[in-house]
Amino acid sequence: MEVLGVDACGRPGWIGIKLKDGAFAGSLVDVRLDALIKRAAGAEAIAAIAVDMPLGLIEKGWRAADLGARTLLGARRNSVFLVAPRPAWLESDYVAAGDRCHELTGHRLSRQAWALAPKLLEARACWLADERIHEVHPEVSFYALAGGVPLDHAKKTWRGQNARRQLLAAAGVVLPDALGEADRVPADDVLDAAAAAWSAQRIALGIAGRIPEVPELDMEGRVVEIWY
């Protein structure tokens, strides 16, 4: 069984880590998410795809998935940003998006969150077109890999990256020193994509967890949730 974990990685676009029967089976980097998915071994062979990007959007207020993930992560809660309602992402500029977000949540949209708009909308379009795609958050995946304990060190630190690589290896996801296409991608993005792939494996096996317990629905009828 093959699965794919994907993370956004700045200028290169998207990084994918592929697993076969739970073990590392290659990396892909592409400027477009849909192109990366199509390149993943013919795509049809992929049983589940986990993407580190908000996919399901609600119409008003904050997503229960994000609030639940923040509660779960404790000290690492700030790694989960609150996702603005769908209408805010349809605005053409940051000021208008911030105004709409304030109208629907009582708070403005951060510039950091707004910078994700192109990739968020790109990933959302893929999600709506392909039921194999599921939303994940790497820190929630690493929380599960660590036995339900938030990690002590941030993912950009030396200790944080070593801890994450060791957790993945203990779960059978051994990342080689030479990754192939992903050699040019920052280490934290590689680790996030690998954690997403680990969650994709759990999704395909039917053993993954999800947040929240009480589901919310996107206006397109799909469940708004974070898998791990």
18 pLDDT tier (thresholds 50, 70, 90):
very high
Q: Where are the domains of the chain?
A: 2-55+129-210
Is residue 175 within 8 Å of residue 193, measured between CB atoms? no
Greater pLDDT, 148 or 42? 148
| pLDDT tens-digit readout, 75-98 | 888 899 999 999 999 999 999 999
Among candidate residues 55, 7, 48, 52, the one with its CA nearest the CA of residue 27: 7
* Backbone CA torsion sign across 159, 201, 33, 46: positive
Radius of gyration of the chain (CA): 17
pLDDT of 26 > 60? The answer is: yes
For residues 104 and 22, give the distance between their C-alpha atoms in angstroms, rounded to a whole number. Answer: 41
For residues 116 and 53, give the distance between their C-alpha atoms in angstroms, rounded to a whole number. Answer: 9
Is residue 194 within 8 Å of residue 141, measured between CB atoms? no
Residue 43: what pLDDT? 57
For residues 11 and 213, give the distance between their C-alpha atoms in angstroms, rounded to a whole number. Answer: 35
Query: What average pLDDT does this structure show over 147-156?
Result: 92
Instruction: Provide the pairing of β-strand 2-8 with 14-20.
Output: antiparallel
For residues 28 and 14, give the distance between their C-alpha atoms in angstroms, rounded to a whole number. Answer: 8
Fold of 2-55+129-210: Nucleotidyltransferase; domain 5 (3.30.420)
Residue 44: what pLDDT? 65
pLDDT of 127 > 90? The answer is: yes
User: Can you tell me whether residue 186 is helix, strand or coil?
Assistant: coil
| pLDDT tens-digit readout, 169-221 | 999 999 999 999 999 999 999 999 999 999 999 999 999 999 998 989 999 99
